[in-house]
Every structure is written in structure tokens, then in C-alpha cells.
Amino acid sequence: VLTGAVAMLRSTVRMGRQLQTMTIQDTSAFSQILAVGPKMRHVVEQARKLAMLSAPLLIVGDTGTGKDLLAHACHLASPRAGKPYLALNCGSIPEDAVESELFGDAVQGKKGFFEQANGGSVLLDEIGEMSPRMQTKLLRFLNDGTFRRVGEDHEVHVDVRVICATQKNLVELVQKGLFREDLYYRLNVLTLYLPPLRDCPQDIMPLTELFVARFADEQGIPRPKLSADLNSVLMRYSWPGNVRQLKNAIYRALTQLDGFELRPQDILLPDHDVSSLAVGEEAMEGSLDDITRRFERSVLTQLYRSFPSTRKLAKRLGVSHTAIANKLREYGLSQKKGDE
């Protein structure tokens, strides 16, 4: 452990020297990352600085927050921008395939990602999914930059910056024995944390406007106007899928849009779908009538957020305005006057 601490200290000292002597690089790569609110502006500001270094970079964030986009931007803004950038998802392919993809295969005469990207950067996405054996091999590579191709004893040395991304809590994985502690400390020297979209409310509407303009142009349709009540609906939603979910929701809405205005009812979100409502054990208690009423109230509560008037909600559910008004009153959900 002491040896690792000394190595980390030396690495930190070297990084400090690099920061002091670095030249200004082209940071236009970060223009593709929209950062309006303070949290994302802080992330981009940090990323601009860390992009200049060669030490491993760890990017942590929930699914859909744009970890791969940020990793690529860091590469493009670095002195390695003119060299290759390759990305591998560690959780999507078998362990043996990961080894040959990263280190190459001597029998097949195949160069691995590290060799192909010599002088550039390699993104290891979902690093928390990497097997223990591959973690050991990666740690060795990070320590001295050398590796052996599969089926070969000859060592190869390359100069590659490793960028890792994960949505998992690596500390918890270390505690459970699923992730090497020494590898975690080797990776956790330079870290960027991407906040979930729900924590960046100032970014939601600018992102919406960006996606609307982009997809309207791609589909060859006029850019629709955003309705006045769209902002409040999108801001209230929790966005569990983050920016990716918002992007997909806007794309889907534009492909089916009738008219020249984008309204809340045009954007169907999974949590507002009856089929996606979670039913816990407590929801199963009581008679069939009790269960039905509980479920019906849950459906109306969730949909009412996106369709905040009895007429809009009635149209969404395909029932009469009077029926919906009665149901809302029955469950105490009616907003009285002004929701007509």
C-alpha cells in the first residue's frame, strides 16, 4: 500500500509540473457539450484542464449523462488530438474478447486498441464491468505502458492515455471484492463527475431547443415552436435516463408531430406510461376494488403532470372530459377552477 501511495504522490507531482508548463490547446471540442447551469459549467472547466494531462482519467456519471461525449472532447482538446481515439465497452463483450481487443492477438496477427491508438487515447467504458483478470492486466499496463499480445511473450510498449468511464460506485465494488483496490486508486487520481440531468435544471430547455433544431433540420421539417407550458412539464420530470432520454424523447416527438408547435402531450415519457408503472407488494393489499382504485389513482396522478387540464387528460386517455373531471374529484386530484 505504501509503494502505491508513493507512486501516486510522484504521479501527482508530475501532473502539477505538466499543469504549470502546459500550452494552450484547442478547446473547441467542448463546444459540443452544452453547459448553461453552474454544475455543467464547472465540469467543462475542470475537463479543459484535465484534458491536457497524460495520466489516466476517470469519468463517473449515471447512464445517459454523456460520459463518452466528454471523454472524446477531452481527447480532442488534448495534445493527442491528432492521434487515434478508440473506445471499448467492457461490459458488452466476453472477457477473452476484451483481452484480444485491447492487447491484440499474435496468432491472428491482430493489433489491439492500445497498439492501434499509440500516441492517442483509449476509452474503457463501463470499467466497473471488467473482470478481475483483466483488471490485473490493465493495472500492469497503467504502471509501465507495456503489455503482451495474446499468444506472445514479447512485450510491447506504447504511449496511450487511458480514459475510463463508469456509472457504478467503484468504492462499493472495491468493498465487495469486485474491483481491485489498487486499480481504483490508480484510476481515481483525475476524476470528473457528471451530474444527472435532474440536478441541472438550467440545462433542460437549452438542450430541448438544441435537439428540436437538430432533429427538425435532419428530418427536413420546419422547426416547431415550443409551447408555453412545455418548460414546466420538462422541468418537473425526473429524467432517469438523463440527456440521452431527453434526446430520444424529442426525436420521437418530432417524428410524430402534427402541426407547428411542440406540446407536453407530444412528448411521451416512460414513467407516464401505464405499462411502466411499478407495482409493489403494498399496492397488492386489499380487495380487487382497492387495488384497482389505487392503481387508477397512480395513473391519473402521473399523467396529470404532463396533461394539466381535464380536457388534455381526457384526450390522452380517450375518455370524456366529464368522466375525467369526476375521477379527479373522486381522488382529490382536481385543481378546481382553471384546469378546464
Q: What is the CATH number of the domain that holds 244?
A: 1.10.8.60
The per-residue pLDDT for 202 is 96
222 and 185, same domain (yes or no): no
List, as own/partner pairs, every contact residues 134-142 make where C-beta atoms lie below 8 angstroms and the sequence separation is at least 24, other chains included. Answer: 134/90, 134/95, 134/98, 134/99, 134/102, 135/179, 135/180, 135/183, 136/180, 137/99, 137/102, 137/103, 138/102, 138/162, 138/183, 139/180, 139/182, 139/183, 139/186, 141/114, 142/56, 142/183, 142/186, 142/187
186 and 66, same domain (yes or no): yes
Q: What is the CATH number of the domain that holds 299?
A: 1.10.10.60
Q: What is the CA radius of gyration of the chain?
A: 25
Q: Among 245, 268, 291, identify where a domain stops.
A: 268
Residue with grid cell 409551447, as numbered in its chain: 227
The per-residue pLDDT for 167 is 94
Question: Is residue 19 very low, low, confident or very high in pLDDT (cuts 50, 70, 90)?
Answer: very low
The per-residue pLDDT for 144 is 93
Instruction: Give residue 246's domain range.
Output: 200-268
332 and 238, same domain (yes or no): no
113 and 223, same domain (yes or no): no
The per-residue pLDDT for 23 is 34
The per-residue pLDDT for 48 is 96
Residues 256, 260, 262, 265: is their CA dihedral positive or negative? Answer: negative
pLDDT digits (tens, 9 = 90+) for 288-300: 777 787 788 878 8
Q: Which of 154-163, 221-230, 232-241 has the lowest mean pLDDT?
A: 232-241
Report yes or no: 272 and 306 within 8 Å, Cβ to Cβ: yes
207 and 69, same domain (yes or no): no
Residue with grid cell 441541472, as numbered in its chain: 200
112 and 160, same domain (yes or no): yes
The per-residue pLDDT for 299 is 84
Most confident of 7-21, 126-140, 311-325: 126-140
19 and 44, same domain (yes or no): yes
286 and 257, same domain (yes or no): no
Strands 121-125 and 261-262, by their bridges, are: unpaired
In the three-class reduction of DSSP (H, G, I as helix; E, B as strand; rest coil), residue 57 is classed as strand
Q: In whole angstroms, what is the distance from residue 33 CA to residue 73 CA?
A: 8
Question: Is residue 339 very low, low, confident or very high in pLDDT (cuts 50, 70, 90)?
Answer: low
Q: What is the mean pLDDT of residues 219-227?
A: 95
Q: What is the CATH number of the domain that holds 33?
A: 3.40.50.300
Residue 321 has pLDDT above 50, yes or no: yes
The per-residue pLDDT for 9 is 40
The per-residue pLDDT for 95 is 83
Helix residue spans in the chain (DSSP H): 2-21, 38-50, 67-76, 95-103, 113-116, 132-144, 170-175, 181-187, 201-219, 230-236, 242-255, 288-306, 310-317, 321-330
139 and 103, same domain (yes or no): yes
304 and 166, same domain (yes or no): no
Q: Which of 96-110, 135-149, 262-276, 306-320 has the lowest mean pLDDT?
A: 262-276
Q: Which of 165-169, 185-189, 253-257, 326-330 has the lowest mean pLDDT?
A: 326-330
pLDDT digits (tens, 9 = 90+) for 135-186: 999 999 999 999 999 988 889 999 999 999 999 999 999 999 999 999 999 9
pLDDT digits (tens, 9 = 90+) for 49-71: 999 999 999 999 999 999 999 99
86 and 114, same domain (yes or no): yes
Q: What is the mean pLDDT of residues 205-230?
A: 95
The per-residue pLDDT for 20 is 36
235 and 154, same domain (yes or no): no
Q: Among 228, 249, 268, identify where a domain stops.
A: 268
In the three-class reduction of DSSP (H, G, I as helix; E, B as strand; rest coil), residue 162 is classed as strand
The per-residue pLDDT for 335 is 60
Number of domains composing the chain: 3
Nearest to residue 207, comparing CAs of 249, 236, 264?
Answer: 249
Strands 190-194 and 225-226, by their bridges, are: unpaired
Average pLDDT, the chain: 85
The CA distances from residue 194 to 71, 208, 283, in Å, are 11, 19, 35
Nearest to residue 56, comparing CAs of 151, 149, 170, 133?
Answer: 170
Give residue 106's region: left, alpha or beta (phi > 0; psi -120 to 50): alpha
Q: What is the mean pLDDT of residues 236-255?
A: 93
What pTM was computed for the model?
Answer: 0.72
Q: Among 248, 268, 288, identify where a domain stops.
A: 268
